[in-house]
Amino acid sequence: MVMPIPSLLFSLQILLIITFTYQTKAVYDEINNYHYFCDQSNNKANYTANSTYHKNLNTVLTTLTSNTDINYGFYNFSFGENNDKVYSIGLCRGDLLTNDCRSCLSGSRDNLTSVCPNQREAIFWSQNERCMLRYSDRLIFGIMEDVPTFHSNNENDSADVNLSNEVVTTLLNNLTSKAVKGDSRLKYAAGSLPGPTVEIIYGLVQCTPDLSEKKCNSCLVESLQQIPSCCKGKIGGRVVRPSCNMRFETSYEFYDTSPTASSSSPPPPSALSPPPNTTGKSNKSSTIGIAVAVPVAIVALVFIFVCIYFKRRKSKKKFEEIQEEDQDDKIEIFESLQFNFNTICNATNDFIVSNKLGEGGFGVVYKGQLSNGQEIAVKRLSRDSGQGDLEFKNEVLLVARLQHRNLVRLLGFCLEGVERLLVYEFVHNKSLDYFIFDQAKREELYWGMRYKIILGIARGILYLHEDSRLRIIHRDLKASNILLDEDMNPKIADFGMARLFGVDQTQENTRRIVGTYGYMAPEYAMHGEFSVKSDVFSFGILILEIVSGMKNSGVRDGESIEYLSSFAWRNWRDGTISNTIDPTLNNDSQNEIMRCIHIGLLCVQENVASRPTMNSVVVMLNSPSVTLPIPSEPAFHMDVQNFQDISSAQESINEMSNTELYPR
């Protein structure tokens, strides 16, 4: 049966309307494609209206657009004194004219104060990163900062993925070398290289010019290392940080090579930029355009439906533990993160003993320094370690995707012969257990510092459970796997035992029990059942250890030994909770300390359903006004005999990880 002409025309009209609507939505999304972050530290009180800080901030932001010293698109200014002093930075893309730069910063100022009201620290990137505006109540000049960060990519794949990746890496490396040589006015470079076929790949990199050459290089190198995880094989992508940004596009010159020109040719459509407008077409051209647009629209719709189908089908697929048989395929995703073994040897001075940082069941950790001056920590797995290729590749695949200030950052890895190495950022202080379980060093951790550590760990776990692209169960949270940077900020480390969960998945069973006994939830230790609540249990143990300064492995009370969680609960029940508090805290912030013990006891309850989620935990820690429920008796309330019996039984049937090494 042949469809009548009117019906056919009506159907085509519907298709064109759908296609036009889809294109319009894409343009709308791009026009509104700005990014902002408010008060990243999350531990500062907001300023109040008409306060001194508010007035100083208004002065800084007002001066921003009226200042005549915005040369080369960079502006920095501070105003005020002491705690009310405001520091600000404005940076425009290197190809913008002065007037365009000032206009962009003016718009950013209005947007920033709108989306981040009453915040003492905020940052805003305009559309396509044409400009960035940030302010803070702390010094931000000359400091390389890598958080907050964001990245995006063009969803279309390159015609020749491998060759395209090589060109992109070469191009961005070359541009980095040029940009870092800039002076205190401009650190910017843009250029292009021929792509794998007939296209051209364009790139742009830029640092805030207040950075030294070394810091600029470090920021851009770290950004380039993120390209494979976000944009590998794509025809466009970007990585943006407060101190630097980089971007590449295929067959689209997204920057202006002649800023003094009055106009430039409109760029072709891209998933990272709006499609061009065309005017002045003749009727004949319009007719031809419609004739071409109709079949193109139909093909596009079919393609969209196919993509949606496979995407929905993929989303239903359960996230299984990364299996050994497909590791070699997945590891290729991170091939650009792979270090040459000789490079690591040179960085660690051939793994000299004096560079040794720590040692555990999986091997030794060494300090090193790359040729660009960046300090690293190298985890060299022993050949007979409990962590085989499966756990090694699992850690690479997981950690390379994770970006959070409270997670240790993986810089790369090495698989060469029998050598298996993990290269991490260098974290200047040791792990939490180095401080909290040492009588002398524990005194250095006053309560405010301990509370910051507790809150930072909670935010890191919350990111793993709910905010990262993958839902991850760590399964080995303990004091030795919490590293402390130079400011004593906690960073969760050692993801060799982590497991991926589907978005809607809540629980899984395993026959292979891994982790550290004492930190393991009872349902996991006894039955192999683990979930996000397993990590919550481990976090509860960490809270009690941080507050008390005692190890959970056994607290002696007279002639019996019991777990710290049981010891704390008994004292909480009997009204003698002060027995659980570290005496070196000198009764500081008693209410806050008692509240943390209460939260810790809620986390270690034997009933899985009674334990709070990490989202609830963060709310409890941040909001003293939230009423806490009464905790029930925790798991593993036992005397010394039961403790020894269960420990022996578990060690005989389960594969345990008790690693004490830390990639600092």
By annotation, the residues acting in catalysis are 476
Instruction: Express the helix, strand and coil content of the chain in percent, nearest 5 each.
Output: 45, 20, 40
Alpha-carbon distance of 186 to 141, in angstroms, equals 15
Among residues 92, 379, 374, the alpha carbon closest in space to that of 222 is found at 374
Radius of gyration of the chain (CA): 28
Alpha-carbon distance of 321 to 162, in angstroms, equals 27
Contact 151, 174 (CB under 8 A): no
Q: How many CA atoms lie within 13 A of 64 on its CB side?
A: 33
Tokens 């609830």 found at:
616
Contact 664, 483 (CB under 8 A): yes
Alpha-carbon distance of 387 to 389, in angstroms, equals 7
Contact 133, 90 (CB under 8 A): yes
Main-chain phi, psi angles of 295, to 5 degrees? -65, -35
Residue 238's DSSP bridge partners are: 152, 247
Alpha-carbon distance of 245 to 233, in angstroms, equals 19
Among residues 278, 264, 274, the alpha carbon closest in space to that of 96 is found at 264
DSSP-assigned letter for residue 550: -
Residue 203's DSSP bridge partners are: 191, 248
Q: How many CB atoms lie within 10 A of CB 311?
A: 10
What is the length of the chain?
664
Main-chain phi, psi angles of 456, to 5 degrees? -65, -40
Alpha-carbon distance of 518 to 478, in angstroms, equals 9
> Mind giving me the DSSP string for 606-662?
SSGGGSPPHHHHHHHHH-TTSPPPPPPPBS----HHHHHHHHHHHHHHS--------
636 φ/ψ sector (left φ>0, alpha ψ -120 to 50, else beta): left
Query: Peptide bond before 148: cis, by omega within 30 degrees of 0?
Result: yes
Tokens of 507: 């629980």
Alpha-carbon distance of 171 to 169, in angstroms, equals 6
Contact 38, 122 (CB under 8 A): yes
DSSP-assigned letter for residue 605: B
Distances (CA, A) of 547 to 543, 565, 594, 599: 6, 12, 9, 11
Q: How many CB atoms lie within 10 A of CB 365?
A: 21
Dihedral sign of CA atoms 77, 126, 38, 53 in order = positive
Contact 225, 376 (CB under 8 A): no
Alpha-carbon distance of 407 to 460, in angstroms, equals 6
Q: CA-based angle 627:536:645, to the nearest 5?
A: 120
Contact 427, 664 (CB under 8 A): yes
Q: Which amino acid is at 247?
A: R
- Helix segments in 80-197, DSSP class H: 98-115, 161-179
